[in-house]
Amino acid sequence: MTTTEVRTRFAPSPTGFLHVGGARTALFNWLYARHHGGTFVLRIEDTDLERSTEESVEGILDGLQWLGFDWDEGPGPDGDIGDFGPYFQSERLDIYREYVQKLVEEHKAYHCYCTPEELRQRREESLAKGDDPKYDRRCANLTPAEQRALADEGREPVVRFRSSDEGKTVVNDLIRGQIVFDNAMLDDFVILKSDGMPTYNFAVVVDDHLMKITHVIRGDDHISNTPRQIQVYKAFGFPLPEFAHLPMILGSDKTRLSKRHGATSVTEYRDNGFLPEALVNYLALLGWSYSATDTLFSEAELIEKFSLDRVSKNPAVFDMKKLEWMNGVYLREVAPERLTELVIPRLQEEGFIPEEIDATTRERVQHIAVTLQSRMRTLAEFVPSSRYFFTDDVEYDTAAVNKFLYQDHIPEMFDLLIDRLTKTEPFDETHIEQAFLAVQEQVGRKLGDVIQPVRVAVTGTRVSPGMYEVLAILGRDRTCHLLNSAAKMVRHNLSVDSQ
């Protein structure tokens, strides 16, 4: 028995950024192809000349690359890659026209000269009478002479597909099962516009056929287009591909995911400090599951385990909290060198480190990044939580200052600590700890009562990684300087209060 090679495709319209829904569709197509050792095709559906932009194409390619969804055929750095191109629909117009012509010759499509204005009027009249507002097939059987006369009036025709309105069209969807559409619902839809551009429902069939796509996996917003497409397949005598419509993605309030729910573009997630591997893992769970308990999957595991029969028909809910949690899990696994590369541009943007950095700065950044690594859920959290390592002007949390610093014994305790730390040699975690223990004994308090005020004094907040580690990174001079400023601030404040 010969099995056909699996060929899937992602076919975005470049009219905006790559959004989460599109990325999920791309992922499922990519996983399906990779799982079966097949081919993943990227086709750019840019026939809407007004809304398609070069920028959007770039953004989509960039987003897919960042997520790691490499395509085997499609746009490449120096032109198209693959034997079934071009992969930009705007470069395939001759092909569509040729296929339209075939249907016209076989009386399966016809020229329609009705103007948009006439169509609108007739639609309104039908609606007012309570009739079906679909196209009334006025041009379905024009003679050549009638066609010429209409063209002579300066009318520019569209081409309409002659739909069958009897019987039913059955979609055997791999996810949703059998869906039956009544053909009476279909109208003679336009396949070629008056400007010579094909419509989506036509071009998609011609391309999926010519590109030998075996599995059409896409969002379920295209379900209602599928019977139209099936009729076009049948009109040409093309074999049908398999169809799989992915469940909708909802926001937390159970309405379709949109801007209102937060970031929807893949690039925004990158900017907000998410790792591609975390986003990929999370997107895989939007509609697919392996078991009730398994949630963390490496790319290799996803490829190995992915199957369409584990995709649910029910809508998936996008849960930001879960994505953040997952990102934190992946972030903890990131190797120090990569982590450093990831945080450097963020620190530069904030002005915490210069554009040109030397080996010492890089090493210091790495040390800080590793110290904070386990506390971050996103890379974006790194900048605010590492602030005190890079700037002297501490942002004090007022409540923490009132609770831990404004106490009579604090300035003197800080003086004692400064004294010890000045003599601490080397200035490393172990020796810093000894200085703290000595001061704790001297003042007769619990260790926490020394550490917590110091933490507030140097970081401005009550949470940070281990204090000795933080101070070792800060270095002796900055530590003593910050303790000194805090002691002064407390003395000043207490003396003002007592006046």
Distance CA 19, CA 260 (A): 14
Q: In whole angstroms, how close is the CB of 235 to ligand GLU at the nearest point? A: 18
- In the list 18, 31, 204, 490, the residue contacting ligand GLU (rule: CB under 6 A) is 204
Q: In whole angstroms, how close is the CB of 6 to ligand GLU at the nearest point? A: 16
Is 12 a residue that touches ligand GLU (CB under 6 A)?
yes
Which residue number, 11 or 339, has a Cβ lying nearer to ligand GLU?
11
Stretch of 6-14, 70-78, 160-168, 465-473 contacting ligand GLU, by CB under 6 A: 6-14
Q: In whole angstroms, how close is the CB of 208 to ligand GLU at the nearest point? A: 8
53 within 8 A of 171, measured Cβ to Cβ: no
Is 222 a residue that touches ligand GLU (CB under 6 A)?
yes
Q: What sign results for the dihedral spanned by CA atoms 380, 382, 385, 390?
A: negative
- In the list 13, 267, 272, 484, the residue contacting ligand GLU (rule: CB under 6 A) is 13
Stretch of 11-19, 65-73, 290-298, 339-347 contacting ligand GLU, by CB under 6 A: 11-19
351 contact partners, CB below 8 Å, separation of at least 6: none
Report CA-CA distances (Å) from 369 to 89, 119, 136, 382.
46, 64, 68, 8
Tell the burial category of 226 from Cβ atoms under 10 Å away from its Cβ (0-12, 13-18, 19+).
Answer: buried
Cross-strand pairs, 169: 181
Q: In whole angstroms, how close is the CB of 154 to ligand GLU at the nearest point? A: 32
Q: What are phi and psi of 275, to 5 degrees?
A: -90, 145
Q: In whole angstroms, how close is the CB of 138 to ligand GLU at the nearest point? A: 30
Tell the burial category of 486 from Cβ atoms under 10 Å away from its Cβ (0-12, 13-18, 19+).
Answer: buried
Structure tokens at 296: 């963390």
Q: Is 259 a catalytic residue?
A: yes
DSSP 54: H
Alpha carbon of residue 420 to chain centroid: 52
Which residue number, 12 or 227, has a Cβ lying nearer to ligand GLU?
12
409 contact partners, CB below 8 Å, separation of at least 6: 443
- In the list 11, 114, 413, 487, the residue contacting ligand GLU (rule: CB under 6 A) is 11
Is 218 a residue that touches ligand GLU (CB under 6 A)?
yes
Cross-strand pairs, 216: 243
Q: In whole angstroms, how close is the CB of 302 to ligand GLU at the nearest point? A: 21
Which residue number, 16 or 315, has a Cβ lying nearer to ligand GLU?
16
Q: In whole angstroms, how close is the CB of 195 to ligand GLU at the nearest point? A: 18
Which residue number, 12 or 273, has a Cβ lying nearer to ligand GLU?
12
Residue type, 118: E
Q: In whole angstroms, how close is the CB of 12 to ligand GLU at the nearest point? A: 5
122 contact partners, CB below 8 Å, separation of at least 6: 114, 136
Please tell me which residue in 168, 259, 322, 446 is annotated as part of the active site.
259
Of residues 433 through 472, those in contact with ligand GLU by CB under 6 A are: none
Which residue number, 45 or 469, has a Cβ lying nearer to ligand GLU?
45
Q: How many residues bind ligand GLU (CB under 6 A)?
A: 7
Tell the burial category of 116 from Cβ atoms under 10 Å away from its Cβ (0-12, 13-18, 19+).
Answer: exposed
- In the list 19, 24, 42, 45, the residue contacting ligand GLU (rule: CB under 6 A) is 45
18 within 8 A of 66, measured Cβ to Cβ: no
179 within 8 A of 170, measured Cβ to Cβ: yes
Stretch of 9-17, 152-160, 429-437, 484-492 contacting ligand GLU, by CB under 6 A: 9-17
Stretch of 7-15, 58-66, 374-382, 412-420 contacting ligand GLU, by CB under 6 A: 7-15
Percentages helix, strand, coil for the chain (3-state, rounded to 5) are 55, 10, 35
Distance CA 204, CA 172 (A): 18
Is 209 a residue that touches ligand GLU (CB under 6 A)?
no
Is 53 a residue that touches ligand GLU (CB under 6 A)?
no
Stretch of 10-18, 333-341, 465-473, 491-499 contacting ligand GLU, by CB under 6 A: 10-18
Stretch of 5-13, 251-259, 339-347, 392-400 contacting ligand GLU, by CB under 6 A: 5-13
Q: Which helix (H) or strand (E) holds 459?
A: helix 447-459
Q: Where along the sequence are the contacts to ligand GLU (CB under 6 A)?
A: 11-13, 45, 204, 218, 222
Q: What is the set of active-site residues?
A: 259
